[in-house]
Amino acid sequence: MTNSQKSFATRAIHHGYDAQSEQGALNPPIYMSSTFTFETAEAGGDMFAGEREGHFYTRISNPTLDHLEKRIANLEGAEAGLATASGMGAITSTLWSFLEAGDEIIIDKTLYGCTFAFMTHGLPRFGVKVTLVDMTEPANLEAAISAQTKIVYFETPANPNNRLVDISAISAIAHRAGAKVVVDNTYATPVLTRPIEHGADIVVHSATKFLSGHGDVVAGLVVGSKEDMTQVRLVGLKDMTGAVMSPLTAMLLLRGIKTLELRMERHCATARKVAEALEAHPAVLHVAYPGLQSFPQADLARRQMSNFGGFLEIVKRAKKRGNRRLFPSLTRGANKGTYTENFTKAFGYYRRTNEVYWHGLDFHALRTTFHHRLSDGTCPGAHRRKLMGHEPLDEGERAYSQKGISIASLFEQVKKIPFDVAWVQSPIRGNPKPAHEGKGLRLVHRSGT
Ligand SMILES: Cc1ncc(COP(=O)(O)O)c(C=O)c1O
């Protein structure tokens, strides 16, 4: 059976590993070795020069990472892959490899917060022009792109609002202008969308989320052509970020990926059911979930995704006096010196969220919120975003019904979260002082968390 005839699940479990070459071990051994020895000095020299295959230093390559890299490349339909220490490591290693002063990168308006910060505050410090475009409308890219544009970058679905970008349409425009297309596929995962099949050049992942699925690692992955991955490995990763993944993390990720398809099925089913229940709630302005009829890009979702993900954004109706008024309790808290308590509480929830969502052990994750943004005052409501666990929904319902709460009133639980929090100005913006010093907490709009 050829590789392309094997199912996703089979490839997720077996691809790229030959147990017989590892003494029959069912799972790849974890090669916890920083360096490797050579038969001869010449052999080592040749490896250093890139003229011979082999491992000599784990920042450049390692056998355990190699298994993982082959596996994710196969699942994404790419030629080659690369493992990194985090999603941000994957993104920065990739972009540092292809951009230099004087180049332009065009990014979608909605990106995960730290990616957004890197793009808008990091890259310009090194002479890279960064242009923001709403890529949900491909004509906007057509109007903005130029010979200076080296990279077109977006997420689909985007964090935090689940907006989709048409990968084929954007790739066609970018390629006509000679630019590479880099897609963050963290929330779709290769189970739901494989951007390379739609024309993208490079795919990056925060493998910390669904790919790992157990909340026990921070990890990143990149896939693309052999040539591009060699460039990212030897320039961005080796010389610029050094963001190498530990072999132990690679083993945990290989294990997580084995059940990815099964877990995504459950994540999608749960998210859809909860999205439908919350959409019907009077306190909800809208729920952004690509599988809902009301989703503005439902057609694109059906064309580009095989299912609609485990991630949804809920927009609560704003209070009468507007969005900014949703924050007074926190601001007052800051003035009274209780800011730290509020803040810790908020990020306590955030942390717990990380633990529960991606493993999905705890249905009560639904009650947790960790995003609430001002949206430049233009947004009609307050945002809360959710990642759905993969525990059975009826179990969650049972747990709730024991407390007299039905699935239809889950939103009541969401409303009880005792804080409102948005991103605080970060040091990368040139404000190293705690943001709450002086005039109380400063809330700054950022997309994503
Ligand atoms: C879409 C997206 N990309 C990248 C990242 C960064 O990944 P990591 O936290 O693994 O560095 C995140 C983190 O939440 C994310 O949501």
- Say what the pLDDT of residue 396 is: 52
- Angle, helices 393-402/260-279, rounded to nearest 10 degrees: 50
Using pLDDT thresholds of 50, 70 and 90, give the confidence band for residue 275.
confident
Q: Is 99 in the pocket of ligand 1 (CB under 6 A)?
A: no
Element spanning 97, H or E: helix 87-98
**Distance, CA 38 to ligand 1 centroid (Å)?**
37
pLDDT (tens digit per residue) in 44-86 = 899 888 899 999 999 999 999 999 999 999 999 999 999 999 9
Q: Is 193 in the pocket of ligand 1 (CB under 6 A)?
A: no
pLDDT (tens digit per residue) in 354-410 = 222 332 322 223 333 333 333 233 233 444 445 555 566 665 555 545 544 444 445
Q: 132, 123 in Cβ contact below 8 A? A: no
Q: Is 289 in the pocket of ligand 1 (CB under 6 A)?
A: no
Q: 268, 387 in Cβ contact below 8 A? A: no
Query: Which residue out of 114, 351, 357 has the highest number of ligand 1 atoms within 8 Å of its CB and is therefore the one to mutate?
Result: 114
Residue with the smallest CA separation from ligand 1 atom 9 is 87
- Angle, helices 339-359/328-335, rounded to nearest 10 degrees: 130
Q: Is 354 in the pocket of ligand 1 (CB under 6 A)?
A: no
Average pLDDT of the residues in 308-329: 55
Q: What is the token pair recorded at 71?
A: 């596996």
Identify the CA nearest to 288 among candidates 120, 193, 160: 160
- pTM for the model: 0.80
